[in-house]
Amino acid sequence: MADTLSPARITVALIVALTLWRVAVLFGAPFDLSFDEAQYWGWAQDPSFGYFSKPPLIAWVIWLTTAIGGDAEPWVRLGATLAHTATALVLFLVGRALFDARTGMWTAVVYATLPAVSVSSLLISTDPFLLLFWSLALHAYIRALNASGVKWWALLGLWIGLGLLSKYAMVFFVVSMVLHLAWSARDRAWLRRAGPWLATLIGVVVYLPNLWWNRTHGFASYVHTGANANLKSDLFNPGELVEFLGSQFGVFGPLLFATLLVVVLVRLRPAARDPRLRLLLAFTLPVLGAITVQAFLSRANANWAATAYAAGTVLVVAWLRGHGCALGGRSLGDGAWRYVLHVSVALHLVAAGLAYNLDGIARLAGVELTAGTDPLKDMRGGAALGEQVRALKAQHPDLTLLFDDRKLMASMLYYARPVVFDAVMFRQTPGIQNHYELTTTLAGMEGRDFLLVARNDDVTVRAAFEHSEHLGDLRVEVHPGYARTAGIYRLTGYKGHAFP
């Protein structure tokens, strides 16, 4: 009992300490929300079962955290920090269930210090919640395979449904589950039993509200997700493939991703002979393989394969600790291979420390950040620009704000609040392209006057009005040669246009 509890206590202590560090960074020097984060905050002002580009759970979480602490940036982002903390603890349970408590401990610590997790913990996005429910589902699935009754299968269905409400990539979990059951002779009989089908049914039922929302909104989220795949563009892009694979060394860490490649490309057959590693491979390879193919056919963002690293972390930790296979007849845990874990965690913590203190380190070093060296450049200047928009609106209280760009409108909805809550997006193309084109309209506003806050000087917008007057430009200098800008126009007498 003591051997089991000791790694558990160490795990909790380490993960809590890491979380407290991140919370201190989050609240100590908050930087501006990115336009995506601002858009998610905007969604939370109107809780719903769906939104244009994502299912609704992220908005629900932001609604909860901001209801507790207010609308400041740290409270908008806090859900991501806590979700990654919970995921690390769940992966401890996965590692312990499959191997032993020490493997679970290393899994939790490695996951919590992954480069992508260190970054993602301070930004609100759908990935932290997807990874949490994916990991919960993985744990429930492992327990269900080794338990009688349907309790764990039912819980698996709940986690699948909540995962789908977080991000549609959760569907890969079901694909991986079917692949594993077909691949594992020991577990194949479950395909003829009620458990997996019950889990799938419960998952669908939990997810149904978002399906209903999509049905009543022209299946907007599905259309957007399909468009993101971009398979209508030129096929076969080796440059995109190389870029995506290179990015994974940053997402998972260089030593860990190299180890994963060794397991997958060199040691797959011996690894797959162990039923535990085979299960983990089944929940790693489909995602990583599918997104790699996507990158080759079109493009893929670095985070699209994130769910591969839930089971992938357990897989790499277990393999490096010598579970299930050996290298040259020796347990990996007996040699230098085990130090990959120690070195990786140390490197990742150093990298996190540098990233979390970038501004301070630059000042101490006497280095001025530029647009080319500042990874946070797009999260600076939003608050200052919002102040200018708020002041401008106060000068023209009779005019409704009009925007021509989703990113600018999202940022200003947060930073110029509340004077922009009745703002409208000017749609310039057929079809709905973003959340604001879905939820606002110029239909029926003929004859109205507007204050255009424009990212682009597009005459198409001004041509839809009787008169246009350029009032000036807003500008917030972020770095020399890089600024947040907007053109300001008084538009009177809306005449209507092709896509109101």
pLDDT of residue 434: 94
44 plus 78 within the same structural domain:
yes
pLDDT of residue 232: 58
Kindly report the length of the chain.
500
pLDDT of residue 299: 86
Q: Answer for the pair 139, 94: CB distance below 8 angstroms, yes or no.
A: yes
- Within-domain flag for 240: yes
68 plus 127 within the same structural domain:
yes
258 plus 328 within the same structural domain:
yes
Long-range contacts of 185-188 (CB under 8 A, 24+ apart): 186/275, 187/145
pLDDT of residue 44: 97
- Within-domain flag for 366: no
Cα–Cα distance measured from residue 452 to residue 486, given in angstroms and rounded to the nearest whole number: 9
186 plus 271 within the same structural domain:
yes
- Within-domain flag for 368: no
- Within-domain flag for 31: yes
- Within-domain flag for 372: no
352 plus 408 within the same structural domain:
no
> In which order are the strands placed within the sheet that holds 450-454?
424-425, 400-403, 450-454, 482-494, 465-479
DSSP 3-state of 97: helix
As a whole number of Å, the CA-based R_g of the chain is 25
pLDDT of residue 1: 44
| CA 262 to chain CA centroid, nearest Å | 27
403 plus 347 within the same structural domain:
no
Q: Answer for the pair 410, 35: CB distance below 8 angstroms, yes or no.
A: yes
Given 325, 356, 387, the domain boundary residue is: 356
Residue located via tokens 């600790």: 321
Long-range contacts of 437-444 (CB under 8 A, 24+ apart): 438/52, 438/217, 438/220, 439/52, 441/500, 442/494, 442/496, 442/497, 442/500, 443/500
106 plus 145 within the same structural domain:
yes
- Within-domain flag for 370: no
Q: Which residues contact 346 (CB under 8 A, 6 or more apart)?
A: none
91 plus 35 within the same structural domain:
yes
Residue 311 to residues 85, 139, 176, 390, 441, Cα–Cα distance (Å) = 16, 10, 11, 47, 44
**Where are any strands of DSSP class E within 370-481?**
400-403, 424-425, 450-454, 465-479
DSSP 3-state of 467: strand
What are the 10-residue block averages of pLDDT along the chain, 500 residues in total?
72 97 93 96 96 96 98 98 98 97 96 97 97 98 93 97 97 97 94 95 98 95 82 73 94 95 91 94 96 90 95 96 60 64 96 92 89 90 96 94 96 94 92 93 95 88 94 93 94 93
- Within-domain flag for 361: no
Instruction: State the pTM of this model.
Output: 0.94
pLDDT of residue 330: 47
- Within-domain flag for 254: yes
350 plus 448 within the same structural domain:
no
Cα–Cα distance measured from residue 465 to residue 458, given in angstroms and rounded to the nearest whole number: 13
422 plus 274 within the same structural domain:
no
In the DSSP assignment, the letter for residue 154 is H
Q: Which residues contact 215 (CB under 8 A, 6 or more apart)?
A: none
Q: Helix 308-320 vs helix 285-297: angle between axes, to the nearest 10 degrees?
A: 120
pLDDT of residue 148: 84
**CA-based nearest residue to 56, from 232, 219, 213, 174:** 213
Range of the domain at 450: 378-494
Cα–Cα distance measured from residue 152 to residue 139, given in angstroms and rounded to the nearest whole number: 9
**CA-based nearest residue to 289, from 323, 245, 234, 225:** 245
172 plus 127 within the same structural domain:
yes
The helices-and-strands tally (H runs, E runs) of the chain is: 23, 7
Long-range contacts of 144-149 (CB under 8 A, 24+ apart): 144/195, 144/199, 145/187, 145/190
φ and ψ at residue 56, rounded to 5 degrees: -90, -10
Q: Helix 308-320 vs helix 254-265: angle between axes, to the nearest 10 degrees?
A: 80
**Where are any strands of DSSP class E within 273-390?**
326-327, 330-331
Cis bond upstream, residue 418 (ω within 30) = yes
DSSP per-residue codes, 113-139: H-HHHHHHTTS--SHHHHHHHHHHHHH
394 plus 349 within the same structural domain:
no
DSSP 3-state of 470: strand
DSSP per-residue codes, 167-235: -GGGHHHHHHHHHHHHH-TTTGGGGGSHHHHHHHHHHHHHHHHHHHHHHHTTTHHHHHHHHHH-TTS-S
Q: How many domains does the chain have?
A: 2
Q: Answer for the pair 428, 460: CB distance below 8 angstroms, yes or no.
A: yes
